[in-house]
Amino acid sequence: MRNVILIGFMGSGKSTIGKILAQQLKLNWLDMDIEIEQSEGITIKEIFEQKGEEYFRQIETLHLKKQLNKDNNVISTGGGVVLSEENRSILKEIGTVVFLHANSEQIIENLKDDEQRPLLREDNVEDKIRKLLDQREANYLNAANIIIQTTGKSIENVVEEIISIL
Ligand code: S3P
């Protein structure tokens, strides 16, 4: 089966949903942030702190390219993977791109106690989330083949919906 790639904002459930989706479709599950942490030997937070966001974005693109010409994977991506035009076109080549769309209230709720995400280390996290969502919305829509509204739905429902559309 062609790869299924989950995109969406931080806290939209890409990892949780990806893992279950892979089990149900009997595909492998691959989480890009975990892959990056394993290959770099430090956490995403540490990569941002020690090497900067630009370095992280380069590594992210390298890991994405590794998936070209592979199949049978469900791939959970990092929320910023859609930022570059290059990544957006690689995503489409790799497989079917599913955008998990949660509304800002849901995302704020999911991320309010987060300590790990470097982009949210700000005094006013809510403002930062709204700002990033505004900046990125068009990129998610542009990269997606399928859009799934997740707000208020259970994980199981979202997984079922994705499977019914694929
Ligand atoms: C990022 C999202 C994170 C991680 C990094 C940057 C972003 O992944 O890749 O902190 O730019 O939105 P999650 O979406 O899994 O939190």
Identify the helix (H) or strand (E) that includes residue 28: strand 28-31
Band (pLDDT 50/70/90 cuts) for residue 123 is confident
| Angstrom distances, CA of residue 68 to CA of 62, 65, 71, 133 | 11, 5, 8, 28
Which alpha helices (H) appear in the chain, and where do they start and end?
14-25, 32-40, 44-51, 53-65, 85-94, 104-111, 125-143, 155-165
113: pLDDT strictly greater than 90: no
Ligand 1 center to 35 CA (angstroms): 13
Laid out side by side, the sheet with 146-149 consists of: 28-31, 73-76, 3-7, 95-101, 146-149
Cα angle 151, 154, 160; round to 5: 105
* pLDDT for the residue 98: 98
3: pLDDT strictly greater than 90: yes
Using N-to-C axis directions, what is the helix angle for 53-65 and 85-94, rounded to 10°? 30
Specify the amino acid at residue 85: E
Ligand 1, atom 9, residue with closest C-alpha: 78
Ligand 1 center to 83 CA (angstroms): 11
Ligand 1 center to 79 CA (angstroms): 4
Residue-wise pLDDT tens digits, 57-79: 999 999 999 999 999 999 999 99
Residue-wise pLDDT tens digits, 7-16: 999 999 999 9
Ligand 1, atom 4, residue with closest C-alpha: 78
Identify the helix (H) or strand (E) that includes residue 12: none
Which tokens go with 61? Answer: 């693109």
Q: Are 151 and 16 in contact (CB under 8 A)?
A: no
Q: Count of residues for the chain?
A: 166
**Domains in the chain with CATH codes:** 3-165 (3.40.50.300)
Residue-wise pLDDT tens digits, 129-165: 999 999 999 999 999 999 999 999 999 999 999 999 9
